[in-house]
A and B are shown apart, each in its own frame.
Chain A
């Protein structure tokens, strides 16, 4: 077993561990967070529920009213890609630092994995887009896509399958790590939670073999999840973005989308962790150290955004061919220029200047503000990309490049309700999951306490962390 000494407490107070909490207290207190709900929780849940229903009704009405005009569906496409970014990227926080043997991430993994459930909303919102996506052979000719000589409805089938596969892999990842906590629910909860805990714990008693296979399952589903996430980002961005715009060919764009998806995912986890810590009174379990570590990750991803954006942009800007100019006119200078500027400021510039300060990264509220700004920035970024892409009339699909840049498409009432409803439904699902299983993993919080010990190191204080795997 290896170990490491993290930092001296005298210099960096955020590393200092709070008092160790007994395992029975951890189990009782975290299981208790699932029971009952405050009036504030209920009020928020009802509001989100009403907005969700309004959003789904608006989606149906929009389909009845506008299903003959694909150019009006850009905001739904932007919502799908935004939700894919946040709910798809967040579970990566539940595994990537674990693979790197980070101890700080243990209390964070559950809330990150819970985002997988919100992937259901992405699948629901994708349904009308799949129906509106033109087949590969349109008006007697094959349109330019990544699907050479494939059957006509390949993008429809494979993109949907990819998204559904991502959803199920995310759920498998969540469930793999949740089995010991379902056993805790079985042992310490009451009523339906106890009954479900018993069913879902599948006879978990905590033998050595069970713990070992648990680690294997997390590792395996984590690896699959990452592979599928990149693949789905590639499919959705090319099929529901690039392939709709004549002349837009960008090999970096799928990776740009994936990186900003990871950025949005980490930002989503930070905001969710902040809310859970504050409103569920989990201060003694969610330490500032977790925010500090997530802050460094978020800062790095924020810098990566500008790297990927610039790598993509410079090819078009320097190329100056008719297709390059048309693509830049559509996506950057054209109908969504102000949204692009606002998005760039909020996804990169503002968070960069917020997160660059150590003081902010060591604070809980500062990190939450930085992360919330990023989420708004990612939403604007998706709007500036996918609304113009979907606004290209279908009769131009065979052109070599866009000769006429479409005008700005403003959201109508349906779009506003759908976007508000979709985001509300995603948040509501995560909130409801906190009623089923503790928002912080009981066994991982216990493991965190087991492996980290505050020690006196020479003339200072430090945290000794065991690295058993």
Chain B
């Protein structure tokens, strides 16, 4: 069983939103269909599934790692070279705070950059079915499925919504 894709092309956003509703009603799984646009329409404008992004996890985990490393670095170096300065304790929290803050922020920033690259899913090596008219303002509704018997269902939804063209790819 091979994965097939179908692209319905619309010139106006309203019929594209109707097609998205139609696909939902026809029983296609959320996440198996998406909308392709040349302009960033407001999220949810087509009633599309908006998956939860995980970007916030990257700076949080980065910060935890940076903070842990900073404690390790400052503690180990001061214990390895135990020089008493001005009668202060060897592990002086206020002196350590600066390094801890800097390393926490550094790791959070670096992990944010890594996270955004990861979350961007670019380069997209398999862009899939596409039409250049999308960057001219046309709207594409792409649906992916494994079951060949669903071709007719998808076509029917696209035609009913008023697709100007339907493209197939396998």
Q: Is the CB of A443 within 8 A of B39?
A: yes
Whole-angstrom CA separation of A214 from B41 in the bound complex = 13
CB contacts under 8 Å to A, within B18-44, are: 34-43
**Contacts A205-B128, A208-B43, A211-B37; is A24 near B119 (CB within 8 Å)?**
no
**Contacts A22-B137, A216-B119; is A208 near B50 (CB within 8 Å)?**
yes
Q: Is the CB of B48 within 8 A of A208?
A: yes
User: Inside 8 A of A26's CB, which chain B residues have their CB?
Assistant: 137
User: Which of the segments A181-189, A302-310, A335-343, A415-423 contacts the partner chain?
Assistant: A181-189
Q: Is the CB of A184 within 8 A of B125?
A: no
User: Inside 8 A of A22's CB, which chain B residues have their CB?
Assistant: 137
Q: B137's contact among A180, A213, A216, A446, by CB below 8 Å, is which? A: A446
Contact mask for chain B residues 105-119; partner A; CB cutoff 8 A; 1 contact, 0 none? 000010011001001
Tell me the total A-B contact number using a CB cutoff of 8 A. Answer: 114
* Interface residue SS majority, chain A: helix
User: Inside 8 A of A469's CB, which chain B residues have their CB?
Assistant: 42
User: Interface size for chain B: under 10, 10 to 19, 20 to 34, or 35 or more residues?
Assistant: 35 or more
Q: In angstroms, how far is the closest chain B Cβ from the Cβ of A31?
A: 9
Q: In angstroms, how far is the closest chain A Cβ from the Cβ of B77?
A: 16
The answer to whether B61 has its CB under 8 Å from any CB of chain A is no
Q: In angstroms, how far is the closest chain B Cβ from the Cβ of A33?
A: 15
Whole-angstrom CA separation of A210 from B124 in the bound complex = 10
User: Inside 8 A of A211's CB, which chain B residues have their CB?
Assistant: 37, 40
Q: A205's contact among B113, B130, B133, by CB below 8 Å, is which? A: B130
**Contacts A203-B127, A216-B55; is A27 near B137 (CB within 8 Å)?**
yes
Q: Is the CB of B122 within 8 A of A443?
A: no
- State the interface size on chain A (CB cutoff 8 A): 40
User: Inside 8 A of A442's CB, which chain B residues have their CB?
Assistant: 38, 135
Q: Is the CB of A446 within 8 A of B125?
A: no
Q: In angstroms, how far is the closest chain A Cβ from the Cβ of B29?
A: 16
User: Inside 8 A of B126's CB, which chain A residues have their CB?
Assistant: 203
The answer to whether A114 has its CB under 8 Å from any CB of chain B is no
The answer to whether A4 has its CB under 8 Å from any CB of chain B is no
The answer to whether B51 has its CB under 8 Å from any CB of chain A is yes
What are the 10 tightest A-B residue pairs by CB atom distance, in nearest-first order?
A23-B137, A203-B124, A468-B42, A187-B132, A24-B136, A202-B123, A211-B40, A203-B127, A213-B120, A446-B39
Pairs A–B under 8 Å by Cβ, sample size 28: A180-B38, A184-B38, A186-B132, A187-B135, A188-B132, A188-B135, A188-B136, A203-B126, A204-B127, A205-B124, A206-B37, A206-B38, A206-B134, A208-B48, A212-B43, A212-B53, A213-B120, A213-B121, A214-B40, A216-B55, A216-B119, A220-B116, A224-B109, A442-B38, A446-B39, A447-B39, A447-B40, A469-B42
Q: Which residues of B are in contact with A by a Cβ distance under 8 Å? A: 34-43, 48, 50-51, 53, 55, 109, 112-113, 116, 119-128, 130, 132-137, 140
